[in-house]
């Protein structure tokens, strides 16, 4: 008999967890699983800010999917799903068609610029390895150029770095960027002929929200704000960005912030593949959406559908966090087994295991249950938890090695 074919679109935290949870069923010959992802690797996005600021190499935060699922029987395809035909139960990668019996969409999210003028053209996002590498290159280029100019005003313009968005990504990046930038200036760009002064370098974190880390409890927000100020990060909160251009950011209150580099972390929007035009099911009927995120039933099945699960950033109702996607992935894998067995599905209930935010070297803040913690021990705990999120010991050892080097030596400023 033909095995049921489960197609998973998206190799992020959610998609990976679904595939990993089904591997025993594949090995037993009960089902076939195909995982489709735009890249051939799983990207550990919570550590991208360290790649952008010289703390980790790009290869350390990416795991090849074929290596992760080697010897499991799970098929891996690198490609982009261009449309879904729900009538024919087929996904398309261009002209290549892949039929499915059960479809899992864990397609993630892209940067949301909220139609801010100039943001798309002049602000860099932080969603991919290419983004992190581009940010790092721009930081290093800014210092190299600043070392050649003759006036302090020009240096201040070049070495003004602006991060838009005060969520976890923006706060973590601002902290790492401050440490990276001020260290570069002090260690590498002060010699007998010229010297970049400390006050010629600036890092500014701006946000339309009135406070940092709105989804975190008050003790974490306060600890983060105190830490950022100690690192020299300037905060502009409660004011919306009006426009971004090549040399700065205009705020809606009339204030202008000069910028040699603007990074946009202010928001994301869900990504869902389009339906085939031949499909008789209207998109709104297949998955009604709120803020571009699909509405789901309690078992994570798409509304009005019995064989399409949606999870992670593409699904509405829960924060866009890696731990949410992981928990949903486990639930979807379990419900797929129940669905194929003709048994009732289990509603998904999310329980947070805590949340952390990294704030530069030797400092992190967060919560475990009702316990609010911050400082060096929290930083060590945060790194330990993240370390064991990787699938392979090879990656864990590589990251431990690089983190250890960072404690003993300056960050890498190689311009790649």
DSSP assignments along 295-323, one per residue: -B-TTSBBTT-SSEEE-GGGBSSS---HH
The count of domains in the chain is 2
Question: Cα Rg for the chain, rounded, in angstroms?
Answer: 23
Residue 71: inside a domain, yes or no?
no
Q: What pLDDT is recorded for position 370?
A: 85
Do 257 and 151 reside in the same domain of the chain?
yes
pTM score, whole prediction: 0.93
Do 164 and 259 reside in the same domain of the chain?
yes
Q: What pLDDT is recorded for position 253?
A: 93
Q: What pLDDT is recorded for position 281?
A: 52
Do 260 and 196 reside in the same domain of the chain?
yes
Q: What is the mean pLDDT of residues 340-362?
A: 93
Work out the number of other CB atoms within 10 angstroms of the CB of residue 74: 23
Q: Given the structure tokens 């990787």, which residue do they identify? A: 390
Q: What pLDDT is recorded for position 280?
A: 54
In the chain, % helix, strand, coil (3-state, to 5) comes to 35, 25, 40
Do 87 and 222 reside in the same domain of the chain?
no
Whether residue 107 is predicted with pLDDT greater than 60 in this model: the reply is yes
90-93 and 83-85 as β-strands: parallel, antiparallel, unpaired?
Answer: antiparallel
Do 83 and 192 reside in the same domain of the chain?
no
Query: What is the distance between the alpha carbons of residues 34 and 36, in angstroms, rounded to a whole number?
Result: 6
Whether residue 47 is predicted with pLDDT greater than 80 in this model: the reply is yes
pLDDT confidence bin for 289, thresholds 50/70/90:
confident
CATH code for the domain in which residue 94 is found: 3.50.50.60
Closest Cα partner for 256 from 204, 210, 211? 204
Q: What pLDDT is recorded for position 287?
A: 64
pLDDT confidence bin for 317, thresholds 50/70/90:
confident
Do 161 and 138 reside in the same domain of the chain?
yes
Residue 26: inside a domain, yes or no?
yes
Residue 33: inside a domain, yes or no?
yes
CATH code for the domain in which residue 193 is found: 3.50.50.100
Listed residues 316, 340, 364: the one ending a domain: 340
Whether residue 384 is predicted with pLDDT greater than 70 in this model: the reply is yes
Listed residues 340, 362, 387: the one ending a domain: 340
Work out the number of other CB atoms within 10 angstroms of the CB of residue 402: 17
Q: What pLDDT is recorded for position 193?
A: 66
Whether residue 267 is predicted with pLDDT greater than 80 in this model: the reply is yes
Residue 87: inside a domain, yes or no?
yes
Q: What pLDDT is recorded for position 276?
A: 73
Listed residues 313, 340, 367: the one ending a domain: 340
Whether residue 330 is predicted with pLDDT greater than 80 in this model: the reply is yes
Residue 47: inside a domain, yes or no?
no
Query: What is the distance between the alpha carbons of residues 113 and 270, in angstroms, rounded to a whole number?
Result: 13
Whether residue 288 is predicted with pLDDT greater than 80 in this model: the reply is no
Q: What pLDDT is recorded for position 284?
A: 45
Query: What is the distance between the alpha carbons of residues 367 and 355, in angstroms, rounded to a whole number?
Result: 5
Do 22 and 100 reside in the same domain of the chain?
yes
Do 226 and 316 reside in the same domain of the chain?
no
Whether residue 192 is predicted with pLDDT greater than 90 in this model: the reply is no
Q: What pLDDT is recorded for position 258?
A: 96
Q: What is the mean pLDDT of residues 121-128?
A: 97
Do 21 and 123 reside in the same domain of the chain?
no
Domain that includes residue 93, residue range: 5-38+79-111+269-340
Work out the number of other CB atoms within 10 angstroms of the CB of residue 99: 12
- Summarised one tens digit per residue, pLDDT across range 135-157 is 999 999 999 999 999 899 999 99
Q: What is the mean pLDDT of residues 361-382?
A: 92
Residue 83: inside a domain, yes or no?
yes
Query: Average pLDDT, whole number, for the chain?
Result: 92
Do 217 and 191 reside in the same domain of the chain?
yes
Q: What is the mean pLDDT of residues 64-91?
A: 95
What is the share, in percent, of the chain residues with pLDDT greater than 70? 96
Do 157 and 171 reside in the same domain of the chain?
yes
Do 275 and 247 reside in the same domain of the chain?
no
Q: What is the mean pLDDT of residues 83-90?
A: 93
Q: What is the mean pLDDT of residues 373-389?
A: 92
Contact call for residues 326 and 386 (beta carbons, < 8 A): no
């Amino acid at each position: 008999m033909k095995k049921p074919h489960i197609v998973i679109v998206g190799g992020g935290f959610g998609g990976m967890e679904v595939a990993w949870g089904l591997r025993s069923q594949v090995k037993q010959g009960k089902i076939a699983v195909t995982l489709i992802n735009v890249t051939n690797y799983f990207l550990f996005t919570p550590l991208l800010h360290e790649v952008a600021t010289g703390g980790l190499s790009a290869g350390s935060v990416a795991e090849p999917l074929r290596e992760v699922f080697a010897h499991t029987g799970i098929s891996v395809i690198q490609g982009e799903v261009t449309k879904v035909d729900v009538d024919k139960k087929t996904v398309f990668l261009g002209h290549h068609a892949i039929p499915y019996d059960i479809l899992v969409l864990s397609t993630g999210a892209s940067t949301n610029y909220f139609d801010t003028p100039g943001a798309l053209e002049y602000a860099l996002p932080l969603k991919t390895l290419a983004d992190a590498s581009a940010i790092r290159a721009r930081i290093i280029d800014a210092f190299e150029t600043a070392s050649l100019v003759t006036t302090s005003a020009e240096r201040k313009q070049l070495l003004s770095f602006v991060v838009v968005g005060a969520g976890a990504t923006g706060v973590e990046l601002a902290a790492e960027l401050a440490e990276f930038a001020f260290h570069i200036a002090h260690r590498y760009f002060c010699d007998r002929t010229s010297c970049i002064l400390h006050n010629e370098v600036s890092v500014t974190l701006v946000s339309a929200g009135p406070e940092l880390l709105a989804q975190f409890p008050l003790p974490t927000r306060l600890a983060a704000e105190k830490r950022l100020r100690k690192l020299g990060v300037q905060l502009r909160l409660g004011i919306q960005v009006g426009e971004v251009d090549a040399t700065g950011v205009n705020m809606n209150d009339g204030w202008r912030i000069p910028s040699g580099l603007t990074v946009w972390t202010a928001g994301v929007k869900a990504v869902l593949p389009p339906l085939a035009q031949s499909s008789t099911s209207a998109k709104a009927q297949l998955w009604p959406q709120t803020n571009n995120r699909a509405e789901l039933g309690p078992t994570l099945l798409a509304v009005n559908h019995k064989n399409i699960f949606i999870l992670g950033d593409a699904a509405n109702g829960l924060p866009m966090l890696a731990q949410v996607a992981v928990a949903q992935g486990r639930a979807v894998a379990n419900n797929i087994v129940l669905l194929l067995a003709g048994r009732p599905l289990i509603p998904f209930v999310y329980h947070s295991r805590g949340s952390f935010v990294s704030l530069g070297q030797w400092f992190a803040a967060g919560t475990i249950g009702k316990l609010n913690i911050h400082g060096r021990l929290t930083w060590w705990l945060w790194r330990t938890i993240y370390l064991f999120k990787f699938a392979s010991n090879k990656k864990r050892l590589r990251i431990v090695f690089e983190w250890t080097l960072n404690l003993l030596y300056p960050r890498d400023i190689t311009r790649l």
